[in-house]
Amino acid sequence: MNQRKRIVILGTGFAAISLVKKIDLTAYEVMIVSPRNHFLFTPLLPSTTVGTVEFRSIIEPVRKTRKGIEYMQGSCRSVDTERRTITCEGVDSGVEFTMEYHHLVIAVGAWNNTFNVPGVREHARFLKEVTDARVIREQVISCLERADIPGISMEERNRLLHFVVVGGGPTGIEFAAELHDLIEEDLGRSYPHLKGEVKISLFEAMNTILNSFDGNLRRYTAEHFKRQGIELRVGTPVQEVLDGGLKLKNGEMIPAGLIVWSTGYGPTGLAQSLPFDKDRSGRILVDECLRVPAHPEIYALGDCSNIAGNAVPQTAQLAMQQGKYLAKALNAIHDGESPKPFKFNNLGMLAYVGESKALADIPKANIRWRGLITYIFWRSAYFTRLIGFKNKVLVLFDWIKTAVFGRDLSKF
């Protein structure tokens, strides 16, 4: 190790990248390990599943994030807290490597939670990474192409044209809304025979959708979905996902061409394996300075952690604030100062609900907006938060391209 203390950061998500951008590189040597060699701006991921925005417009290669950092494409498999080393596995090579650290930052996010429903991993699609969005986009187009072949049975055609979302949180709602826009705006032009035959359904086990949003906004969304023809079935748990459909707890069989599973998060394999205290959902418990109490040289932030006695949400804004905070705290430690505790500043929530309408729930400012103006606000808010200038230009270009020429429905 050289003169500077080494910080090893696990992950290239919101928490990790916000930290990397602000850490003092004259004080610390920064090494990042992550299987994903890019940062992904997830709030616009649902838009990429239907081609409103292109995949590469919302990612930034980690090696371009900042000069002077080092990156290794691998997954951390274990942490030796005694020797202060981590063991990792290279992504494509499978080669094992070990690294020493002075400070370790665990920012490995979370995995999709299946709630042990059988068949989810085999037959449903998740929406977490760019690769997931690409698979969904291909499957939507494949269903449309297969349904348009002459001689196909009516039963099979109806199945292929039924798109199902499981989970009524913001991701499920936004995906259903984007899919609806695709069907409404682009189907008539490219698949005139299928117009009016596509059905979108959303199943939610609880009795409400968007349960973190204000009640009026939830009711507005339910009515808006009804107007758009999206079937909303709340209080309807799924028992099993099958090849070609769903089985509900009430015994009903739901044939479907695509099933997108979006029911929340659980801990990653690494987080599960670490011998630290966890909360009920498996998130690593940290103190108010984001340290693992038994090992103050180890920090955990973002979706993989929770603050003991002061629970925080699993959102991008929280992860970003924690990343920035930790950079400041570590810079202060280097200067011989003690860091102040982390404080979450809740900026509220936004969600897209289709046909150029969005929701904004900002309790601090007593704002509960919905509709077209909120949609413009939603777009501007995400546009300004996009990481780099290049991403801003690409996303703006994609929005204009979609408005003028429609979405690209090629499959290759």
Which span (7-15, 151-159, 193-201, 403-411) binds ligand FAD, by CB under 6 A?
Answer: 7-15
* 186-215 footprint of ligand FAD as x/- string (CB under 6 A): ------------------------------
Nearest alpha-carbon partner for 115 in 164, 163, 166, 170 = 166
Kindly state the smallest distance separating residue 60's Cβ from ligand FAD, in Å: 12
Complex with ligand FAD: residue 246 or 319, whichever CB lies closer: 319
Shortest Cβ distance from residue 285 to ligand FAD (Å)? 15
Cβ neighbours of residue 346 closer than 8 Å, sequence gap 6 or more: 317, 363, 364
Please spell the DSSP secondary structure of 391-407, one letter per residue: HHHHHHHHHHHHHHH--
Among 63, 322, 124, 204, residue whose Cα is nearest residue 313: 322
Q: Which of 8, 20, 31, 33 binds ligand FAD (CB under 6 A)?
A: 33
32 binds ligand FAD (CB under 6 A): no
Our CB check for ligand FAD shows the closer of 46 and 119 to be 46
**Binder to ligand FAD among 65, 114, 171, 402 (CB under 6 A)?**
171
Q: Dihedral angle at the C-alpha atoms of 172, 175, 179, 180, nearest 10 degrees?
A: 60
Encoding tokens for residue 271? 């987080």
303 binds ligand FAD (CB under 6 A): yes
Binding residues among 88-127 for ligand FAD as defined by CB under 6 A: 107-109, 127
Strand 265-266, strand 111-112: pairing: antiparallel
DSSP symbols for 108-139: ---EE--TT-TTHHHH-B--SSHHHHHHHHHH
Q: How far apart are CA 129 and CA 13, in angstroms?
A: 11
Instruction: Note whether 314 binds ligand FAD by CB under 6 A.
Output: yes
In terms of CB distance, is 239 or 317 closer to ligand FAD?
317
Q: Report the nearest approach of ligand FAD to the CB of residue 185 (Å).
A: 21
Site string for ligand FAD, 371-410 (x = CB under 6 A): ----------------------------------------
Q: Which is nearer to ligand FAD, 108 or 160 (CB)?
A: 108
The answer to whether the beta carbons of residues 23 and 330 sit under 8 Å apart is: yes
Neighbours of 376 (CB within 10 A): 12
Give CA–CA dist 245/58, Å, rounded: 31
34 binds ligand FAD (CB under 6 A): yes
Among 20, 30, 43, 353, binds ligand FAD (CB under 6 A): 43
Count of other CB atoms within 10 angstroms of residue 195: 12
Taking the least distance from each CB to ligand FAD, the nearer of 11 and 168 is: 11
Footprint (CB under 6 A) of ligand FAD, residues 67-86: 75-76
Candidates 20-28, 249-257, 312-320, 326-334 — which segment interacts with ligand FAD by CB under 6 A? 312-320
Residues 287 and 147: their CA atoms lie apart, in Å, by: 54
| Tokens describing residue 158 | 């109806």
Q: Nearer Cβ to ligand FAD, position 246 or 359?
A: 359
Nearest approach, Cβ of 46 to ligand FAD (angstroms)?
6
